[in-house]
């Protein structure tokens, strides 16, 4: 790692300011002074690796102090009306909505820190957050059907949770996905019932569609500077016979440029969208660095939580309810550590069983992606590290650093007789190699297939009763008995090859593989199998591990209450009864919004 210094220097009142990076004069920036109301922000020591694709960490674009006013007043015997565990997509939205009316006091506990780091706010820097302090940095168990590899699973550990770390694709999924939730968990989860909540979440720029919110919390924008390769990809989709349409239709049927959760080219996380506007509320206490160890139970009633802060264990009391919003990995872990889960497994770890709920941690579903990475001559996001791009970003929030990387996508069917698409095709104008953990070795593009409706399910289980130990994550990718998932993913890989063979993409690439190198010499089927086994990875969408349902076997009921326990709910991606045909951030935020409604109605 090297240390970089970014400076903006005004040499005289009459000449535009000049940007200096590591002592190199990058030239005049006519718009810089206007773009930044406080130019001193631009003078900042930043960490940046010289090799990474997008690791230049430009001067501050996020809140200097993080999105929440942090109160460091943890004291023995502290009591609140509601305790929310986890300030992620759902938890931050929930805590902010609960405190709007001033009626309830809320303690929001977050294991990660405040969102001060610039890299959390500069879109194209998202993969530089991998394996950082802002990441729980999980790895799955070796996956039998992926050549025995374990797969890297990043999860946000910071205010905003995974919404502070994600790729900002705003892809709500199909109305039919939510209608399926309603079939499993009751009518309040149908698209029609959730529509007002989506509208409350979204502040969509440039839409006249009444199904899209325009004055909600999270800013949703068209990309400011997509790469020309993305336009070529959409031309390729047309050439291959697919429609190109606007994003987030109720039943998407084709390809589109990605809408992004950004505000003027900076990330719009739930920390910036929900917590920042709520930072002065006296009834909201946000406590980062607080790792919750377990729910405190009095018999079968949740009365608070134990948490670790600054090396000391503390207890906070909830007068009304505790809500777990730790995400699809940590929420089931926390339930099990609290004695709520499969009795036999809990006993193996000598945990007292409070409620025997066999499905805690089960029904894990995730989206797997498998991509073709081919060479292009120039202009990919591999150049995002260039000083010129940093200058453009700082001056006008333009250029490659505004990219969310996955700039376009489309929905397709592996079999034309299917009622709804079962595959998504994703496009990135960069060689996204090594699960995003390594820099692109050269210019390239990635065209990947995503298995939207996996039949395979996995599980989160305890590795240890130690709350700070990582749980076991076993998604059991492609393990379904009939081999449906593998067949479908391979069909998606063929769609990618068809797109790469169109004139629009042939004009960009000669088809030489950047990853895996030399794969152009293989037959398509052989190539696809090699890529799936050796390189398929998560699209970061784990769901379902505290499944909501109307049936007694579900972990939470349709009002998100943990079965058999009073005063305890779950609100995050773990309650999704079925994975959506979309990306999970918007849906997780909506779950937080619904939880707020439910708590306000019952308190």
Ligand X SMILES: Cc1cc2nc3c(=O)[nH]c(=O)nc-3n(C[C@H](O)[C@H](O)[C@H](O)COP(=O)(O)OP(=O)(O)OC[C@H]3O[C@@H](n4cnc5c(N)ncnc54)[C@H](O)[C@@H]3O)c2cc1C
CB of residue 104 vs ligand X: minimum separation in angstroms?
20
515 in contact with ligand X (CB under 6 A): no
Tokens 């506007």 found at: 277
Tokens 């935020």 found at: 589
162 in contact with ligand X (CB under 6 A): yes
CB of residue 15 vs ligand X: minimum separation in angstroms?
41
Window 171 to 230, contacts with ligand X (CB under 6 A): 171
Return the DSSP state at 140: P
291 in contact with ligand X (CB under 6 A): yes
161 in contact with ligand X (CB under 6 A): yes
Is 104 or 305 the residue whose CB approaches ligand X more closely?
305
Q: Site map for ligand X, 249-268, x if CB under 6 A? A: --------------------
Is 169 or 355 the residue whose CB approaches ligand X more closely?
169
Is 29 or 431 the residue whose CB approaches ligand X more closely?
431
Q: How far apart are CA 423 and CA 453, in angstroms?
A: 8
Q: How far apart are CA 335 and CA 295, in angstroms?
A: 8
Whether residue 593 contacts residue 93, with contact meaning beta carbons closer than 8 Å, is answered with yes
Stretch that binds ligand X, among 17-25, 162-170, 195-203, 507-515 (CB under 6 A): 162-170
CB of residue 87 vs ligand X: minimum separation in angstroms?
5
Q: How far apart are CA 283 and CA 54, in angstroms?
A: 39
169 in contact with ligand X (CB under 6 A): yes
Q: How far apart are CA 533 and CA 516, in angstroms?
A: 11
Whether residue 152 contacts residue 127, with contact meaning beta carbons closer than 8 Å, is answered with no
36, 136, 34, 140: which is closest to 88 by C-alpha? 136
166 in contact with ligand X (CB under 6 A): yes
94 in contact with ligand X (CB under 6 A): no
Residue of the chain from 63, 80, 110, 366 that contacts ligand X (CB under 6 A):
110
Is 165 or 240 the residue whose CB approaches ligand X more closely?
165
Q: How far is CA 198 from the centre of its chain?
A: 17
89 in contact with ligand X (CB under 6 A): yes
Whether residue 110 contacts residue 290, with contact meaning beta carbons closer than 8 Å, is answered with yes
Q: How far apart are CA 405 and CA 396, in angstroms?
A: 19
- As a 3-state breakdown, the chain gives helix, strand, coil percent values, each rounded to 5, of 30, 25, 45
Whether residue 538 contacts residue 368, with contact meaning beta carbons closer than 8 Å, is answered with yes
Is 42 or 95 the residue whose CB approaches ligand X more closely?
95
168 in contact with ligand X (CB under 6 A): yes
Q: Is 541 a catalytic residue?
A: yes
The footprint of ligand X on this chain (CB under 6 A) covers a number of residues equal to 42
Q: What region, left, alpha or beta, does residue 88 occupy, with left being phi > 0 and alpha being psi -120 to 50 degrees?
A: beta
Stretch that binds ligand X, among 16-24, 65-73, 107-115, 347-355 (CB under 6 A): 107-115
Q: Under the rule (CB under 6 A), what is the footprint of ligand X?
A: 85-91, 109-112, 154-157, 161-163, 165-169, 171, 290-292, 325-328, 330, 334, 540-541, 572-573, 583-586, 588
């Amino acid at each position: 790692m090297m240390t970089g210094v970014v400076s903006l220097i005004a040499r005289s009142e009459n000449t535009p300011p000049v940007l200096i990076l590591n002592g190199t004069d990058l030239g005049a920036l006519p718009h810089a002074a206007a773009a930044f109301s406080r130019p001193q922000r631009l003078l900042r020591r930043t960490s940046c690796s010289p090799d990474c694709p997008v690791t230049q960490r430009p001067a501050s674009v996020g809140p200097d102090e993080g999105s929440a006013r942090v109160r460091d007043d943890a004291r023995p015997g502290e009591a609140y009306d509601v305790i929310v565990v986890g300030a992620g997509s759902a938890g931050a939205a929930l805590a902010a909505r609960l405190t709007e009316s001033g009626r309830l006091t809320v303690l929001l506990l977050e294991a990660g820190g405040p969102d001060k780091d610039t890299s959390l706010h500069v879109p194209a820097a998202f993969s530089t957050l991998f394996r950082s302090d802002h990441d729980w940095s999980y790895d799955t168990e070796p996956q039998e059907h992926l050549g025995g590899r374990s797969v890297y699973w990043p999860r946000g550990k910071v205010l905003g949770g995974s919404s502070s770390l994600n790729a900002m694709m705003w892809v709500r999924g199909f109305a039919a996905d939510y209608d399926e939730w309603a079939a499993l968990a009751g009518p309040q989860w149908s698209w029609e019932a959730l529509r007002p909540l989506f509208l409350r979440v979204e502040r969509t720029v440039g839409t006249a569609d009444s199904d899209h919110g325009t004055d909600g919390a999270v800013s949703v924008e068209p990309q400011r500077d997509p790469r020309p390769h993305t336009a070529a990809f959409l031309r390729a989709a047309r050439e291959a016979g697919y429609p190109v349409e606007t994003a987030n239709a109720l039943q998407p049927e084709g390809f589109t440029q990605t809408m992004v959760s950004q505000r003027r080219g900076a990330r719009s996380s739930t920390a910036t969208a929900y917590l920042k506007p709520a930072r002065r509320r006296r009834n909201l206490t946000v406590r980062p660095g607080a790792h919750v160890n377990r729910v405190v139970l009095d018999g079968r009633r949740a009365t608070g939580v134990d948490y670790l802060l600054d090396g000391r264990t503390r207890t906070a009391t909830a007068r009304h309810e505790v809500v777990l919003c730790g995400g699809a990995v940590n929420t089931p872990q926390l339930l099990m550590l609290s004695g709520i889960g499969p009795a036999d497994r809990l006993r193996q770890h000598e945990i007292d069983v409070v409620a025997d709920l066999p499905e805690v941690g089960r029904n894990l579903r995730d989206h797997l992606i498998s991509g073709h990475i081919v060479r292009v001559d120039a202009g990919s996001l591999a150049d995002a590290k260039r000083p010129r791009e940093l200058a453009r970003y700082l001056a006008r929030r333009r250029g490659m650093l505004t990219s969310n990387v996955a700039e376009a996508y489309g929905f397709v069917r592996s079999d034309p007789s299917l009622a709804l698409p079962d595959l998504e095709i994703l496009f990135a104008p960069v060689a996204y190699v090594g699960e995003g953990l390594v820099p692109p070795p050269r210019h390239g593009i990635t065209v990947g297939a995503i298995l939207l409706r996996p039949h395979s399910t996995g599980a989160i289980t305890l590795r240890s009763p130690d709350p700070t130990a990582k749980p076991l994550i076993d998604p059991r990718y492609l393990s379904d008995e009939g081999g449906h998932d593998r067949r479908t993913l391979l069909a998606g890989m063929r769609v990618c090859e068809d797109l790469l063979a169109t004139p629009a993409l042939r004009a960009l690439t000669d088809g030489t593989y950047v990853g895996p190198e030399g794969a152009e010499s293989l037959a398509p089927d052989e190539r696809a199998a090699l890529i799936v086994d050796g390189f398929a990875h998560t699209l970061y969408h784990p769901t379902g591990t505290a499944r909501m349902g109307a049936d007694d076997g579900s972990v939470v009921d349709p009002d998100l209450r943990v079965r058999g326990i009073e005063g305890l709910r779950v609100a995050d991606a773990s309650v999704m009864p079925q994975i959506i045909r979309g990306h999970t951030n918007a849906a997780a935020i909506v779950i937080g919004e619904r939880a707020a409604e439910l708590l306000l109605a019952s308190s």
